Chain A
Amino acid sequence: MKELSHRERFIRALRHEPIDRLPRFFRFKREAKEKVARIFGITDAETGLGHQPDLELRMGNDVVLYQIGINAEFSHREIAIGDTWHSPFNVGYGKSGLQGRNEEEHKEFMKTQEYWGPAKVVPENFPSSHPITSMEDLKNYKWPDPDDPRLLDPIKKMVDEYGDEYFTMVDLSSTLIEAAYAHIVGTQKFFLMLFDQPELIEGVLDGLTEYYTELGKNAVKLGIDMIRVGDDVGAQQSMMLSPDSWRELAKPRFEYMFKEFKKVNKDLFIKLHSCGDYSPIIPDIIELGVDLSGLMQPTGGNKDQVGIKKKYGADLALVGGFDVQNLLPRGSVEDVRAGVLEVIKNLGVGGGYIFSPSHYILADVPIQNIWAMYEAVQDFGEYGKYPLD
């Protein structure tokens, strides 16, 4: 088959049409990205709102992604130990004490760095205060501006610069349930409020729906190919909330959101992401008209990739499935290579699959493993050759 353009390849994979090689979709957290960028001699490896796709494209990504929304604001940001930073959503974030809060604790932390060798452990940012915990808070809450040029200008630039050759995607995450529990309300409070004060939860979800619908429509107007919503409702072994609760709280709101997006561009593709196991709601996701979804944590819950592919593969293109919890950070180079082959055998045969690690490549991944994955996907990702013959 003749070589396709990146954009063509991605779109054809979404439509389950024949392609030349597996589309690739790598995403990095800053520390991992800087490590790999050095090898390719790439100097600008910015992530988050300052995202630079050079490294990902050098590794064969067929998609250029720009993330906006709650996660984009906080998750790649540098926050000093002991500081609290408030996002435009008025959620407070801080670092945990991983690097140590004083000299002595920092020494302790450095010991862990020796153990991991080149795979550094870095502290993540965590929500530490939540803006809406009462009806009063909800009434007074000011949602951010969905017309904010700070978020929309880089999308326009991405489309202008890459839109012809590459598939362009805007990630609105976290979008709904996750945004509410992890950020706006607080996890434990969110789950208890579902029973104690459901109107508060409904109000927060309505606010998020309205905000993200407007923001997403603005992004679609700029000519992107795909909107990705990211909403973690899966835990390691099962869903966090019941499939029925999800159908009640999330499904109609996503339905509304997606309809509004498609009013702007009827050909828009939609990706829905959740971490963990959310296999019970895959049929609902298909019903919502989602084009692409992931197999995010292949180590827990429903591990039956072949079964999922068989059951849903015709109606939904799949992405991910390559384990970043154990295999990528802690496997040997040989393990990684064998793992890539297995995932491609499970999911790539017959098309409708985009190769991707099951999540961001994090700071704890040794560089040789990233390299092994990159090589293996080149060796095993070509249609017409083993294992895709």
Chain B
Amino acid sequence: MSEPRLKIPEGWEERAPEGWEWSELWEAVEVGKHIFTDEFVRKAIDTGINPRTILDDGLFPGFNLQGDRFTEQIIFIPEMLITARAMKAGLALIRPLLAAQAEKPIGVFVMGTVLGDMHDIGQSIVAIMLENAGFQLTNLGTDVHPDKFIETIKELKADLVGFSALLSTTVYYQKVTIDEIEKAGLRDNVKILIGGAPTTQDWADEIGADGWGRDAVQAVKQAKRLIAEPRTAWA
């Protein structure tokens, strides 16, 4: 594999005011300067740049670069976390503006760690990456009871639900949660993704999940694939 490179968005100059430069922001997200990112994004908003443009041209390049490096095992959890934190700082400012422009998320995603499992470091990375990919994301955190999943799925009319489990002793709750979603009559309304260290494609098939995310990048790919698949519309 070749060394991941910064992908500079094509034609960004035409979408930015005269003399504008994004490169400082690309680097800030890459090295995880969250305070600088916050300040820069505020400046961009004040300048009147379209929020979608700020996201695509300003925030994504540095984030995607780190995502690629993470996949290639060039960087690791600490570096990915600070980049995710910087990205989050920028997103927090952009998200309300996108909503005000009535820009629709590509899907509503509910996620959490199954009942009994308290490990969420990987999940928090997946959450941010899904959000960056354009999903409206609700992260229920750790140790989530199946009822809580069901309640949230209904309330938000979710398109996708994802649950992770780190332990071989808690992974069974992925099955329980799917069974409970089925019993609640919601199985055809949502696509289900699973992940976590002891999980495999075989396990996903066995318990009737729609997809398995081997890692954070795969989880996002799977989510994008599943959102395009047909499912029963919410009433």
Contact = CB atoms under 8 A, between A and B. Distances in A.
23 contacts: A105-B145, A111-B176, A112-B176, A115-B172, A115-B175, A123-B169, A187-B121, A188-B81, A191-B121, A192-B81, A192-B82, A194-B78, A235-B77, A235-B197, A236-B197, A237-B73, A241-B77, A241-B78, A325-B197, A325-B198, A329-B168, A363-B169, A364-B172
Contacts of B170: 96, 98, 121, 124
Contact of A96 (B78, B117, B121, B122): B117
B197 A324 contact: no
A121 B75 CA distance: 35
Interface string A115-135: 110000111101000000000
B176 A242 contact: no
A97 interface: yes
Interface in B106-151: 115-118, 121-122, 124, 142-143, 145-146
Interface residues of B, number: 35
Given A97-B143, A326-B200, A122 B77 contact: no
Interface of A: 96-98, 105, 108, 111-112, 115-116, 121-124, 126, 187-188, 191-192, 194-195, 235-242, 245, 297, 299-300, 324-326, 329, 362-364
B78 A237 contact: no
A105 B115 CA distance: 10
Contacts of A194: 78
Given A122-B169, A235-B122, 11 more contacts: A96-B142, A97-B116, A108-B176, A112-B172, A124-B169, A237-B214, A238-B76, A241-B78, A245-B76, A299-B198, A325-B198
B191 interface: no
Interface string B170-181: 101101100000
A44 to B, nearest CB: 24
B229 to A, nearest CB: 26
B210 interface: no
Interface of B: 32, 73, 75-79, 81-82, 85, 115-118, 121-122, 124, 142-143, 145-146, 167-170, 172-173, 175-176, 197-198, 200, 203, 214-215
B77 A300 contact: no
A187 B78 CA distance: 10
B81 A242 contact: no
A362 B77 contact: no
Given A97-B115, A192-B82, A192-B85, A238 B73 contact: yes
Contacts, number: 97
Contact of B116 (A96, A188, A236): A96
Given A97-B115, A237-B214, A191 B78 contact: yes
Nearest to A31: B169
A124 B167 contact: yes
Contacts of A96: 115-118, 142-143, 170
Contacts of A188: 81, 121, 124
Contact of B118 (A126, A236, A242): A126
B145 A241 contact: no
Contacts of A112: 172-173, 176
Nearest to B70: A238
A242 B79 CA distance: 9
A239 B172 CA distance: 26
A123 B121 contact: no
A264 B57 CA distance: 60
A195 B169 contact: no
A235 B164 CA distance: 15
A237 B77 CA distance: 12
A358 B173 CA distance: 23
A121 B76 contact: no
Nearest to B118: A126
A111 to B, nearest CB: 7
Which has the most chain B C-beta neighbours within 10 Å: A98, A187, A364? Answer: A98
A245 B80 CA distance: 14
B172 A116 contact: yes
Interface centre among B76, B142, B145, B169 (most CB of A within 10 A): B169
A235 B78 CA distance: 13
Contact of A237 (B32, B121, B215): B215
- 4 closest residue pairs by CB, A with B: A98-B116, A236-B197, A126-B118, A191-B78
B127 to A, nearest CB: 12
Given A363-B169, A364-B168, A241 B76 contact: yes
A108 B82 CA distance: 38
Contacts of A108: 145-146, 176
A324 B214 CA distance: 19
Contact of B145 (A97, A111, A123): A97
Most chain A beta-carbon neighbours within 10 Å: one of B73, B116, B200: B116
A242 B73 CA distance: 8
Given A97-B116, A362-B168, A364-B169, A195 B76 contact: no
B76 A325 contact: no
A240 B81 CA distance: 11
Contact of B115 (A98, A126, A236): A98
Contact of B32 (A97, A105, A195, A245): A195
A195 B145 CA distance: 35
Contacts of B81: 188, 191-192
A297 B124 CA distance: 23
A123 B143 CA distance: 11
Contacts of B75: 242
B52 to A, nearest CB: 29
